[in-house]
Chains A and B, each alone.
Chain A
Amino acid sequence: MGIVKELKKGALISLWFVFLTFPVMVIKVDPIARTVVWRWENALYMAVGTFVVYYIAQFFLKKKENQKEASEEKGLNHSIIHKILQNPLQRNIFVGVLAVAAVLFPQVLSAYQTNVMTTALMYVVLGLGLNIVVGLAGLLDLGFVAFYAVGAYTYALLNHHFGLGFFTVLPIGGLMAATFGILLGFPVLRLRGDYLAIVTLGFGEIIRLVLENWGEFSQGPSGISDISRPGFFGVDFDLQSSIIYTYYLMIILVIVTIFVVNRLQDSRLGRAWIALREDEVACQAMGIDKRKTKLVAFSLGAFWAGIMGVMFAAKTTFVNPASFTFLESAIILSIVVLGGMGSIVGVVLGALILILMPEYLRALSQYRMLAFGAILVCMMIFRPQGLISNIRRTYTFKKKTTNSLSK
C-alpha cells in the first residue's frame, strides 16, 4: 500500500474517533450552574493520539503476523527467563539473588516500602490462585474476590467474636472459601464457560451486597476493625516489626504457593486441567471426569483466595465490603492475563508490575483502571500468551532420528 493511502486511512480513522469522543470529551456541562465548557483542545489531542496509536497498532499487528510465520518455521523460541530457568547453574544463581533480595528488602528499605511489597506479594498469591482456575483449567472466574472476601470475613468474625488467632483461622478461611467454591461451582460447572463467568460475577456481587446489608452479621458498610495481626508464639510486636514479620510470612506463603502450583501443574490433575481447557469432548472420551476435575480447580483457586483473605484481614486489621468490589477481581484477572495464562513466572511478574507500578507512578494513579482495561484488550489482540508465555511440552519429530527406526 502506498504511503499516501496509509496516511489517508490514518487521518480518516482519527477523524472518526474525534467524532466518536466529541460529546464526552469536548463538552462538559454543569447542570446546576447551567454552564457549558467547550474543551476543543481535547478534540485535537484525540485526533493526534488516535493517529499515532493507529500506526503503532498497525506496526504490532504486522510484527505479530511476521512472528507467527517465523515461529512456525523455527519452532518455539523461548523467552530469556525460560532459558535461565532451564539451565541449572543459571537458575540457582537467579533464585539465589532473588532470595537474598527478598530477605534484605525490609532491612534496606522503609516500613512503607515493605508494606507495599507485602501487598504486591499478596497479589502474587491471588494471581497464582486465579491462574489455576483461568490459566490451567480455562474457567473464567470473575467473582474471585468473593472468595477473598469469604476468607477475610471468616478471620475478622472469628477473631472478633471468639478471639481465634491468625494461624488457626488461616486453614479455616481457606476451607470456607473452598466450600463456597464447591457450592457455587457444583451447579454452574456443567454449563458452558461464559455462563460461569457471569454467574461468578453475580456471586461476587451477592457476597458484597450481603456483607453490606446484613448488619447484624457483618457490621454492614462500616466493617470490622481491630483485627489481630499475625501472632508469633505470644510475642508482642510493635508496628514496625509487625510489618516486617508480615512481609516474611508473605514470602513464605508465596514460596509455598509457587511450589504447590508448580507441582500441581505437572501432576495428573494438572494435565487433566490443561487437556480440559483445550478440548472438553476429547477429554471426556479419554475418561476424565469433567465436572469433578473442574470443581477441584475451582475450589483450589478459591482456597488460595480464602487464605489471602485471612492474610489481608490480618495485615490491614480492618475489613469492610468496599474492599471486595468487582474491580478487585478485574485487577487479579489482569495480572493473570498480562503475565501469561498458565505461566507461574509470568503471573509473579504480572502482579509485581501491576501492583507496584501505580504505587510508584502516583501521578498516573487515576488512569490505573483505564490502563487495566486497555491492557486486557491489547493483550488479547497482540499477545494472547502474555508477557512470559507458558512453555507447552510438545513432541517434536527430529529428522536425524528417523533413520534409527529402520535399523
Chain B
Amino acid sequence: MDYFIELLFSGLTRGSIYALIALGYTMVYGIIGLINFAHGEIYMIGAFTAFIVATVLSIYGFPLVAIVIIAGVAAVVWSSSYGYTIEKIAYKPLRYAPRLSPLISAIGMSIFLQNYILLAQTSDFLPFPRLIPDFPFMEPIAHIVGSTDLVILVTTFVVMVVLTFIIKFTLIGKAMRATSQDRAMATLVGINVNRVISATFIIGSGLAAIGGLLIASHIGQINFYIGFLAGIKAFTAAVLGGIGSIPGAVLGSLILGLTESFATGYVSSDYEDVFAFSLLVLILIFKPSGLLGKAKNEKV
C-alpha cells in the first residue's frame, strides 16, 4: 500500500510539473493556433537561469531563503523575457503566413536555443543545488512523500489559483479570452491583439520557468536537453486534456503523470517515455479533440 501511495504522489508531482508547462502550450495554442515548439526550451532556460543564479548566490554565501526567492524571480523574469522575444522574432512576422511556416520557425527556434545553451554553458549534466530543505514535520511520512513533492504540489496549486484569477477577472485575462474566441472581432472592439499575444507568451513562459525550477530541484540535475522531452510530454498532456482548454491541460497533465508513474512502478522503467507517446497516439486515434476540448469542424 505504501508503494501505491508513493507512486500516487510521484505521479501527482510529475503531473503538476507537466501542468505548469502544458498551460503555456495550451494558452498559446488557444490564442494564435500555434504549437509553440520552443516552449520546452523556455522551461529549460528557466531551470538554467535558476541554476546559475542559485549557485552564484550560494557561492557568495547568501541564506537559503534569499537564494530561493531570488533564483525563482530570476527564472521567471528571464524565461518570460525569452518567451516575449521569441514571439517577436520568430512568430510575429509569420502571423499571416501559411500554417506550416510558424511551426517550422518554432522548431528552428527550439534547436537554436538548445544549442545556444549547449555552447554558452556546457553539455554535461549539472548538479542543481538543493533549494528545498527537509521539513521536520514531514519526517514520519518522508519515505513516501518527500518535502520537495509537497512544495511542488502546493506551489502548483497556488499558481493555478492565481492563473484562474488572472484569466477570469483581470482586464488582460478577459482580453485573452476574447482574442482566443475571435481575433478579428477582438480587434474591432479595441483590444490590442499584439499586446494580448505578448502577455500570453509572458505568462506561459513564467509558468514554465516555475516548472523548470521545481523539477530541477526535484531531480537534482539539469542539462541543455531536458526541455525536449518535457516539452513533448507536456504537449501530450495538453492534447490529452483538449488543446486550448486550460482546465483540460491540468487534467491531462495529472492523468499523464499518474499513468507514467504507475506504468514505471508496476511494469517497467525502460519504456517510461514510450508510455507517454503511445498515450498521445491513442488519444489522437480515439478522441482527437481531447477530454475537455471542443471538436471543431473546419469551415471554408
Contact = CB atoms under 8 A, between A and B. Distances in A.
B22 to A, nearest CB: 13
Contact of B112 (A19, A24, A191, A377): A377
B172 interface: no
A77 B29 CA distance: 37
Nearest to B229: A205
B99 interface: yes
A27 to B, nearest CB: 5
Contact of B53 (A23, A192, A281): A23
A143 to B, nearest CB: 10
A226 interface: no
B59 interface: yes
A138 B100 contact: yes
Contacts of A16: 85
B74 interface: yes
Interface string B217-251: 00000000000100010011001000000000000
B277 A381 contact: no
A105 interface: no
Given A140-B104, A380-B104, A197 B119 contact: no
B113 to A, nearest CB: 7
B32 to A, nearest CB: 12
B232 A199 contact: no
Contact of A377 (B90, B121, B270): B90
A203 B277 contact: yes
A122 interface: no
B100 A19 contact: no
Given A24-B52, A193-B100, A280-B298, A376 B93 contact: no
B130 to A, nearest CB: 11
Instruction: Find the residue from B55, B59, B108 having the highest chain A CB count within 10 A.
Output: B108
B103 A24 contact: no
B115 A369 contact: yes
Interface stretch (B187-195, B208-216, B280-288): B280-288
A366 B285 CA distance: 40
A136 interface: no
A198 interface: yes
Contact of A29 (B52, B82, B280): B52
Contact of A380 (B81, B94, B118, B239): B94
A35 interface: yes
A337 B280 contact: no
Interface in A94-151: 134, 138, 140, 142
B98, B111, B121, B274: residue with the most chain A Cβ atoms closer than 10 Å: B111
Contact of B274 (A206, A333, A374): A206
Contact of B114 (A36, A367, A369): A369
A31 B281 contact: no
B105 interface: yes
Given A195-B288, A206-B278, A281-B300, A24 B115 contact: no
A166 B129 CA distance: 53
B161 interface: no
B111 to A, nearest CB: 3
B157 interface: no
B212 to A, nearest CB: 13
Contacts of B236: 202
B111 A376 contact: yes
7 contacts: A23-B74, A188-B285, A194-B99, A202-B281, A205-B232, A381-B94, A384-B101
Given A24-B116, A27-B52, 14 more contacts: A29-B56, A61-B93, A187-B284, A191-B284, A197-B103, A198-B235, A198-B239, A201-B232, A206-B278, A280-B298, A369-B118, A373-B111, A381-B90, A384-B98
